[in-house]
Amino acid sequence: MLARLHQMLIKEFLQVFRDKRSRFLLIVPPIVQMLIFGYAATFEIRHVPIAVLDLDHSQESRELVARFTASRTFEVRARLEHHRQIAELIDRGEVILTVQLHPGFAQRLRKGQTAPVQVILDGTNSNTALIALGYVNRIADRFARDYQRDRLRRTAPLTVAQTPTVELERRPWFNPDLRSRWFFIPGIIGSLTLVMVVNLTAFSIVRERELGTLEQIMVTPIRRSEFILGKTLPYFLIGLADAALIALVGTLWFQVPFRGELWVLFLGTVLFLLSMLGVGLFISTISATQQQAMVTAFFFLMPAITISGFGSPISSMPEALQYISYADPLRYFLVVLRGVYLKGVGLEVLWAQMAMMAVIGVTLLTISVLRFHKSLD
């Protein structure tokens, strides 16, 4: 058995690495995708294009506008003269929001009254709009507090000294600077590993069937269990190496901290790869051609990434999708990745995720192997 399995492994590795294009696809695209997704996937917004319509032309209005100009979040692209220009700029997509200061803004502030500021926002991209609106509120609140303090200092200095203030001091755990990239990089590692392993496993067996070599192999003394093991083990090792390469690039290039233990991450990766091998093998049993395998893999990959909690919390999804996500191995692997990377937790915390991946992996592999035997018959 070991001799036949050894020959099967040699055949698979030769088939993968003798082709320059295959070697290129196994190394370069994962690195490029990690770099692209690492920079593109973020909740942070910078240099949001805005326009300003200052109809007050006072010192106070200019000071408020200066705070938007000095912010790294916003970039003032236009200073308008009339409100009719607002709709044109937003329709063209040249700005996302417009800050409008009405006449009498400074006069209201000097009288101690509320001075409204109108913000016209393009809500096409709701996520960007909500984040930008939050920054606008922060700038306006800080301006209001500073102006009130300066006003009291001029009119009633003793009152300022006796007025209590409440300051919020932020001390976030695990991610002190609240960098969204630290959240996304572990998720990208899991997602790219998912795509690589499923595609490799599904296409390799379908290719044998499509070329007609599958029947030739099965008439040899090799057993079906040896054939399945010989087909999946090389791609397990390749997936493990690709996962290590992607994790290394993401960790070193983007400076994401690794606070946990390496063996915990290794164990979680092994269990996750077993689950993905089961998925790839199952796809191969229901596909007659590589084109069918590609469509089927795409049908699985996109929902698996979407409901895994990669970009949005699972708790915000509809209840039906939340239940479906329990069958998604990527959901548990992302918890392991983020827990090991950012929190530094060990098996005493992540054992439930490990157990679920083990159960899903064994179940999928069993179903896939049985289905594969049936398809050969």
What ranges do the domains of the chain cover?
7-41+180-376, 48-162
As given in the structure block, the two tokens for residue 280 are 């790839």
Structure-token pair, residue 195: 């795509």
In sequence order, the 6+-apart residues with CB closer than 8 A to the CB of 16 are 22, 23, 26, 234, 238
The per-residue pLDDT for range 53-103, each reduced to its tens digit, is 999 989 989 999 999 988 888 999 989 888 888 888 888 888 999 999 999
Pairwise CA distance, residues 306 & 330, whole Å: 10
DSSP-derived 3-state class of residue 116:
coil
pLDDT given for residue 72 in this prediction? 84
Higher pLDDT, 126 or 318: 318
Residue 303 predicted with pLDDT over 60: yes
pLDDT 10s digits, 224-244: 666 677 777 888 888 898 899
- What pLDDT sits at residue 12? 65
d(CA 300, CA 364): 14
Closest CA to 254 of 166, 200, 180: 180
Contacts for 58-62: CB closer than 8 Å, 24+ residues apart: 58/105, 58/106, 58/107, 59/106, 60/105, 60/106, 60/109, 60/147, 61/101, 61/105, 61/106
Q: Does 357 have pLDDT greater than 90? A: yes
Over residues 38-65, the pLDDT tens digits come to 888 777 788 889 999 999 989 989 999 9
Residues of the chain with pLDDT > 70: what percent? 86
CATH no. of 48-162: 3.40.1710.10
Give residue 269's pLDDT: 94
In terms of pTM, does the model score above 0.85?
no
Contact 71, 135 (CB under 8 A): yes
Contact 183, 174 (CB under 8 A): no
Cα separation, 66 vs 69, in Å, equals 5
Strand order in the sheet with 74-79: 74-79, 48-54, 97-101, 117-121
Give Dmax over CA atoms of the chain in angstroms: 98
Number of H helices and number of E strands within the chain? 15, 4
Nearest alpha carbon to residue 119 among 53, 71, 73, 72? 53
Report the distance separating Cα 203 and Cα 16, nearest Å: 12
> Bridge-partner residues for 97, per DSSP?
50, 121
In this prediction, residue 42 carries a pLDDT of 76
